[in-house]
Structure 1
Amino acid sequence: MRIADLTDRRVAIWGFGREGRTAIRALRQRCGAQHFTLFCSAAEVDAASVFDPALEVIAGEPDAVTLGRFDVVVKSPGISAYKPALLEAQAQGTRFTSGTALWFGENPDARVIAVTGTKGKSTTSALLAHLARSLDVRTALAGNIGLPLLELQGRQAELWVIELSSFQTGEAGPLELGVITSLYEEHLDWHGSRERYVADKLKLADVSRRLLVNALQPALLERTRQHPQRLQFGQPDGWHVTDGVICRGTREIFTAARLAAPGLHNALNACAALAALEAIGLDAPAAAPALASFRPLPHRLQPLGENGGWHWVNDSISTTPLATLAALESLHGRTVTVLVGGHDRGLDWTPFVDAMRSAPAHAIVCMGSNGGRIETALRAAGVVCPIVHVADLASAVAESKVHTPAGGVILLSPGAPSFDQFKDYAERGRRFAELAGFDDASIAGIEGLGIG
């Protein structure tokens, strides 16, 4: 579907976040004074009316009857495609689209690498754009990483690097290369089940002419084995990490310790980016030295520095227990107190508990709405390190200072979303930095968004 297809149709926009506002601008630009309806929260009504006085603004979540009044609804990504009202309206003929889908409809000939994965998709996308630009390729970096695609509508790039969440993979059009960095369970509240989450993630494979996947994930390999042009990273004959060195087959290319983004998983993200460049015919070994100048993304194992005798690391982006384990692995050999817990989505913490039983952190501070559940599981398993349960992040930081010796690391890697206490993971990360004694305003946004 293209934006022109919405002309003279009954159209609603559902959601007034950045994606929703971008969609409104794009529709106004192409469809002029056409009547549009916006569904948003009651708290957003006044702002929406100021943003576009011609909008019909309706507060609250629409039901199936209300949605059924429209030919097309442009939905923001955070609104589940499995809401009963949406499904009922869809069955009755209402079409649902998104800013992402409209961009793909408008740009069928764009050269696109789309990246998804439970973890690693943002860093891999940013690495890809950074490396391509080092080869003087005019590259766009957009999508779920923080810049809605429609904000760049009408602009030109030689290569589009687009991060897609599991909410968006089904909205992409045909593309040159899809990349899947990892596949664990997440966002079960949006998708409804683990199997549906996996199926939605793998929709990227259906629209990708070539597909690049992580060879170190057997389940991912099994689920994508039928793809006719599947490539892999992480295996010995391709881009992989051996003894702290990023290699292409037997050729040593780049020492992983020179990456500012720490951890084996980030070295593998670099392998994914290099393999993707190679897959589309670019000189990946020539781009590899630019890895040394890549600036890590905020809130993703971000070293804040030393203060009060402790080293502070902000990994607020961590929203699964397995992500927390990866963060701890990246700090292997150091004395680490880890802050875990947040919004409870019912994820299984057994892998984290089992890992802590065999190789515990120095101390574990459990917080947030699922903090009690995590504490109970750790104690029941006989984890031997100090375990503390507190209500909120401020209390967690205070307790971490008590339990961490001088020179140790205090790591925020919650393994859970932030919505029990904060608007999003970025707000949580900035608050952590502030509580640690740093200027939260100094935590910069993602470098490289847009076209460069």
Structure 2
Amino acid sequence: MPLTLFCNDTEAADVRALGDAALTIETEATADRLAAFDVVIKSPGISPYRPEAVAARESGTVFIGGTALWFAGRPDARAVCVTGTKGKSTTTALLAHLLRAGGHRTALCGNIGMPLLELLDGDAELWAIELSSYQTRDVAASGIRPEVAVVTNVFPEHLDWHGSEQRYVEDKLALLADAKPRVAVLNANDPRLSALSLPDSDVRWFGRADGWHMRGDALHRGDDFILDTRDVPVPGRHNRGNLCAVLTAVDALGFDGAALASHAASFRPLPHRLQTLGTRDGITYVNDSISTTPHASLAALDVFRDRRVALLAGGHDRGLDWSAFAEAMKTHAPVAIVTMGQNGPRIHDLLAPLSRTAGFVLSSAADMAEAIAHARDALAGEGVVLLSPGAPSFGPYRDYTWRGRHFAELAGFDPAAISGIPGLGIA
């Protein structure tokens, strides 16, 4: 069957080198060209709300993604779909880790770094699948109900792709409202989630007293104490909430979460997520490059609330509102904030009136090297340089991993040693 591939010029050169006579390559995906096809298989990063895609869809073209193809091809898969604005990667990886510790052959895949279509013929008992907001509608499009869906939280992100905050929330929650999972595992402390009505799903809540929840560092299921989480190698109270989500999903699959909970202590944290790189000359460097919203930056600061911190903030401007971040700085500011990137000036202007009254040093930097230099100067040999930019990396970096690697290199650490995600695939 002939196939047409739309791609950029660089990708076109690579594909032409394959010498496939059945493959036609085009670099201009206009509305007229897209409308000439009955079906367009879209990569996740391409927004279906682009004008040319909307026009083609109005002409009858159907747009689907690889996630929909995988679910349609694997209707009997025991799948746990995990999404959320933040925490979904750690939650998915921790779920796979605990299921494997329980003796279950489990796939760790999806948005975390192993595309589903690469495992179309994979042999797994259980599937731990991370989904971004770009992919959640695909599950419903496949017509297959996942066994379990987990949503960690919902707050604004990717507004440039979705077009508005309302559409982002609708797309994210399509995993629940449209895909209708058998069990929905939801965060009771998230206001958007707690307001949902899901009559087609068995809703299991985490973060409240009758389910999996935290009391300080103590993990409980209902009234039963399960374990002290201080030995679990994931930083921050938000990650303890992710553990509660995972154990709720384990129970939803019909296994005993309490019996597997202790294996969380052997989990290997994921790179670029509050990743401590090491200490140089009295200063500790922490790579939280995955942080792409102001909310994530606040969560990172909370982890180090008892340390002297210089925060590196800013990157690609998606138009997110930083006012809640600024409000928090009135009472919970670090020693210093260094702004950088496309939205750096906007963040700097918002924070400038607060810097004197709240008592933090505010500076701006042209690039990562200058930002680190400012942070070091502000800390004067003691504290934490925290890269938690609250914004995507586009511009000088291809993605957040490249940004994190560059930060590590500039801080004096080996960038090749910090980026591998353990456990991808089936094991």
Aligned to 2:341: 368
In structure 2, the residue corresponding to 1:78 is in which secondary structure?
Answer: coil
Pick aligned residue for 1:222 from 195, 204, 208: 195
Between 113-122 and 51-60, report the one with greater CA deviation. 51-60
Query: Partners of 2:227 and 2:420 in 1: how far apart?
Result: 27
Query: Partners of 2:369 and 2:18 in 1: how far apart?
Result: 35
Aligned to 2:25: 57
Between 310-319 and 62-71, report the one with greater CA deviation. 62-71
1:83-112 Cα offsets, whole Å, 9 max, x none, are: 111111112111111111100110011101
**1:337-352 mapped onto 2 (5 Å cutoff):** 337-352=310-325
Q: Tell me if 1:419 matches 2:386.
A: no
Shift of 1:226: 4.8
The 8 Å contact of residues 336 and 361 in structure 2, kept in 1 or not, is answered as yes
The 8 Å contact of residues 431 and 440 in structure 1, kept in 2 or not, is answered as yes
**1:242-321 mapped onto 2 (5 Å cutoff):** 242-321=215-294
Query: Partners of 2:247 and 2:359 in 1: how far apart?
Result: 41
Query: Partners of 1:385 and 1:441 in 2: how far apart?
Result: 34
Going from structure 1 to structure 2, the CA distance change for 1:126 and 1:52 (only over 3 Å counts) comes to farther
Query: Partners of 1:170 and 1:419 in 2: how far apart?
Result: 24
Shift of 1:53: 2.8
Going from structure 1 to structure 2, the CA distance change for 1:146 and 1:351 (only over 3 Å counts) comes to same
Query: Partners of 2:261 and 2:19 in 1: how far apart?
Result: 46
Aligned to 1:194: 165
**Which amino acid in the other structure matches residue 170 of structure 2?**
A
**1:12-51 mapped onto 2 (5 Å cutoff):** 34-51=1-18
Pick aligned residue for 1:409 from 349, 361, 384: 384
Going from structure 1 to structure 2, the CA distance change for 1:87 and 1:407 (only over 3 Å counts) comes to same
Aligned to 2:52: 85
RMSD: 1.2
Query: Partners of 2:215 and 2:407 in 1: how far apart?
Result: 34
**Which amino acid in the other structure matches residue 420 of structure 1?**
G
Q: Tell me if 1:149 matches 2:116.
A: yes
Unaligned regions of 5+ residues in structure 1, if any?
A: 1-33
In structure 2, the residue corresponding to 1:141 is in which secondary structure?
Answer: strand
Q: Tell me if 1:138 matches 2:105.
A: yes
Query: Partners of 1:431 and 1:280 in 2: how far apart?
Result: 40
Shift of 1:224: 4.1
The 8 Å contact of residues 79 and 146 in structure 2, kept in 1 or not, is answered as yes
- Using structure 1 for the length normalisation, give the TM-score: 0.90
Aligned to 2:214: 241
Aligned to 1:174: 145
Shift of 1:227: 5.3
Pick aligned residue for 2:61 from 88, 94, 116: 94
In structure 1, the residue corresponding to 2:195 is in which secondary structure?
Answer: helix
Aligned to 1:385: 360
Pick aligned residue for 2:298 from 307, 311, 325: 325
In structure 1, the residue corresponding to 2:334 is in which secondary structure?
Answer: coil
1:352-374 Cα offsets, whole Å, 9 max, x none, are: 10111111111100001111111
Shift of 1:420: 2.2
In structure 1, the residue corresponding to 2:45 is in which secondary structure?
Answer: coil
1:390-432 Cα offsets, whole Å, 9 max, x none, are: 1111110111111113330110000000002200000000000
Going from structure 1 to structure 2, the CA distance change for 1:371 and 1:196 (only over 3 Å counts) comes to same
Aligned to 1:3: none
Going from structure 1 to structure 2, the CA distance change for 1:316 and 1:52 (only over 3 Å counts) comes to farther
The 8 Å contact of residues 342 and 421 in structure 1, kept in 2 or not, is answered as no
**Which amino acid in the other structure matches residue 119 of structure 2?**
L
The 8 Å contact of residues 82 and 130 in structure 2, kept in 1 or not, is answered as yes
In structure 1, the residue corresponding to 2:204 is in which secondary structure?
Answer: strand
The 8 Å contact of residues 335 and 408 in structure 1, kept in 2 or not, is answered as yes
Q: Tell me if 1:70 matches 2:33.
A: no
1:274-315 Cα offsets, whole Å, 9 max, x none, are: 110011111111111110110010000011111122111000
Aligned to 1:22: none
Query: Partners of 2:197 and 2:93 in 1: how far apart?
Result: 24
**Which amino acid in the other structure matches residue 94 of structure 1?**
T
The 8 Å contact of residues 405 and 419 in structure 2, kept in 1 or not, is answered as no
1:119-170 Cα offsets, whole Å, 9 max, x none, are: 0000000000000000001101111111110100111111111110001000
The 8 Å contact of residues 211 and 227 in structure 1, kept in 2 or not, is answered as no
1:244-279 Cα offsets, whole Å, 9 max, x none, are: 111112222222221111100111111110110011
